[in-house]
Amino acid sequence: MTNSPASATQNQALLDALNHCVAACEHCATACLGEEHVRHMTDCIRLDRDCADICALVARLVARGSEHAKHLIKECIEVCTKCANECAKHNHPHCQQCAAACRACAEACREYAG
C-alpha cells in the first residue's frame, strides 16, 4: 500500500465507510434486541454482529497498512452484502439504515480492492 495522496484519500473513504458500517450494525443489533418479536430478528442480530466485527478488523488493518487487508476485504464484502440483504427484509428504520450502510461499505471495499 502506498502513501500517495490518492491512496490516502481512498484509504480515508474506505475507513469512513467501514467505521460507519460498524456503528450502524452495532446500533441495529441493539435496537433489534428491543423489538417486540425479537425471535424473528435473530439472523439480523447475528449478521449485524459479524459485520461490525469484520468491518472493525478490516479498518484496523487498512489504517496500519497491513498487507492482509486486501485478503480480508473480500470476506468483508460478502458479510456486508449478506447483512444488507437481511436487514433490508425488515421495515424498522434501524434495519433500513444498517442495510444502506452495509451496501455503501461493500461498494467502498470493492473500489478499494480494485
Scanning 1-114, the segments in alpha helix (DSSP H) are: 5-33, 42-63, 69-88, 93-113
Question: Which residue's C-alpha cell is 487498512?
Answer: 62
Q: What is the pLDDT along the chain (114 residues), one digit of tens a residue?
A: 444 444 777 799 999 999 999 999 999 999 999 988 889 999 999 999 999 999 999 999 999 999 999 899 999 999 999 999 999 999 999 999 999 999 999 999 999 998
**76 contact partners, CB below 8 Å, separation of at least 6:** 18, 54, 55, 58, 105, 106, 109
Residue type (1 letter), 99? A
Decide: 44 and 95 in contact? Cβ < 8 Å: yes
CB 19 within 8 Å of CB 62: no
The domain made up of 5-113 has a fold known as Substrate Binding Domain Of Dnak; Chain:A; Domain 2 (1.20.1270)
Asked if residue 29 lies in contact with residue 48, where contact means CB atoms within 8 angstroms, the answer is: yes
